[in-house]
Amino acid sequence: MQSGPREIVTPFRPIPLDVPEGMKPNEFFNSAENLNDLVHNNGLLQNPEGLLLYRKALGHSNEFDASIIYNTSQSILDPLGRPVRRTQVPEPVKNVWNRMNQIIIDYMLERYPDPSRHLVLAGEASLDATWPLTSPGVPSIRMLHNHFIVFDQGELRAAPLADAANPNLTDGGQHSLFQAYMRDVYRAFFEDLDLRILRPCEEASCRIALTGYPQGLPSWEIAGGPAALRDVRFWKEYDTILKGFIDFYRSFFSQVSTRNATMPRDIHFPDLVENRLQFNNDFLKTAKMVRDRCITDARYANAIRWQPAFKQLIYRNDEGKLIVTISQNSIGNAITELLGVVVKRAPDADAYGRAEPALIGQLLEVRRRLVEADLGAGIATPHWSAE
């Protein structure tokens, strides 16, 4: 069977939500009013830390699909001031967040144990708070949220090949500036991070054979497998990967913005930035290339995300190993595309209705486990009770 990205069709039930006249949908979706609707129509569980588990009404997969959002819509009314990455989350909240992640991932691996039958992934795409609300491609809810998704491998095998030129496919070899021009610098920077549980893995062993993705991205195997997710050390290393990425991203685009810029404030690894980046000719040569183009190409300059934008996820490869990878989120926002899965959502209430009972049953079981672990209380909606 030919390897390549797949495009699947996922039916959904149209949402009876009226956007006020004069507002664009992605402006309204960031409002406290919309988040209130999300809680009452799709909310499963919430806790005092502000973390909300909910059913994805416009989901990626009807096999298993849920999210946890750090719901600051009532406490931070400015959408541009809300936390959009884990490094901006208070430590007590992050502790609860990590435990919730571990329990949900553990459930998915227990429920779907065979990697040849199901593709399992969990992770986040950054919600870059630097673009105007009306820009194409800006996420519809500007708050940090994780995705938990399972795809049926049979459906993926039966799906047609996606257009390899689809700009939303995060292809490290073609679309990522870091991979295309600074691959060696980028990888060497990560190699100096203090990682013990996360071990670099060869590119070929990280790829999903069916799709051929991810492509060209730094990836790490989780030594110890699912049990390692119960170790707080793993989550610290998961954050270390993100912090390293953010340092690289900020250092690079500061040089793009201002020639010979000083080190950005609040860098996590200043010695690493100084030694590996600020005196590296390939790094600075690439920054000059981008800066020169920004000066002469308005469309190109407008598309740049000047603040850190990324996709980071945990997924299970074909051998059943858990892999961590991270990508520059330069174009698309769908985290599934990092693994070569393009989702085309189609309104079809009947088709969604056939899948809904099994999907909701699983989400309620996940909720039960989270409540049992003292990670929140159930939410009642028109579709399910609070118990």
**Confidence (pLDDT) at 21:** 86
Contact at 8 Å (CB) between 103 and 374? no
Q: Of 238, 230, 195, 201, which is closest to residue 217 (Cα–Cα)?
A: 201
- Whether the per-residue pLDDT at 129 is higher than 60: the answer is no
Rounded distance between C-alpha atoms, residue 322 and residue 316, angstroms: 5
Rounded distance between C-alpha atoms, residue 214 and residue 22, angstroms: 40
Report the 10 Å Cβ neighbour count for 292. 11
Q: pLDDT (tens digit, 9 = 90+) per residue, 213-229?
A: 998 889 999 999 999 99
Lowest mean pLDDT: which of 136-150, 341-355, 368-382? 136-150
Q: pLDDT (tens digit, 9 = 90+) per residue, 99-122?
A: 999 999 999 999 999 999 999 999
- Whether the per-residue pLDDT at 69 is higher than 80: the answer is yes
**Confidence (pLDDT) at 166:** 79
Q: How far apart are the first and last CA of the chain?
A: 46
3-state SS assignment for residue 291: helix
Contact at 8 Å (CB) between 343 and 60? yes
- Whether the per-residue pLDDT at 277 is higher than 80: the answer is yes
Say if residue 244 is exposed, middle or buried (CB neighbours under 10 Å; 0-12, 13-18, 19+). Answer: buried
Lowest mean pLDDT: which of 73-87, 126-140, 281-295? 126-140
Q: pLDDT (tens digit, 9 = 90+) per residue, 148-206?
A: 999 999 999 999 999 877 777 765 555 577 877 888 999 999 999 999 999 999 878 89
Asked, as a colleague might, if the bond just before 214 is cis with ω within 30 of 0, I would say yes
Q: What is the DSSP letter of 209?
A: T
Cα 168-352-2 angle, rounded to 5 deg: 45
- Whether the per-residue pLDDT at 332 is higher than 60: the answer is no
pTM (global) more than 0.85: yes
Mean pLDDT confidence for 353-369? 97
**Residue, of 299 and 231, whose pLDDT is higher:** 231
Contact at 8 Å (CB) between 160 and 7? yes
**Confidence (pLDDT) at 175:** 57
In percent, how much of the chain has pLDDT > 70? 93
In percent, how much of the chain has pLDDT > 90? 66
Where exactly are the structural domains of the chain?
Answer: 6-378
Query: pLDDT class for 136, splitting at 50, 70, 90?
Result: low
- Whether the per-residue pLDDT at 137 is higher than 60: the answer is no
- Whether the per-residue pLDDT at 335 is higher than 60: the answer is yes
Query: pLDDT class for 329, splitting at 50, 70, 90?
Result: low
Query: pLDDT class for 95, splitting at 50, 70, 90?
Result: very high
Rounded distance between C-alpha atoms, residue 41 and residue 98, angstroms: 25
Query: pLDDT class for 97, splitting at 50, 70, 90?
Result: very high
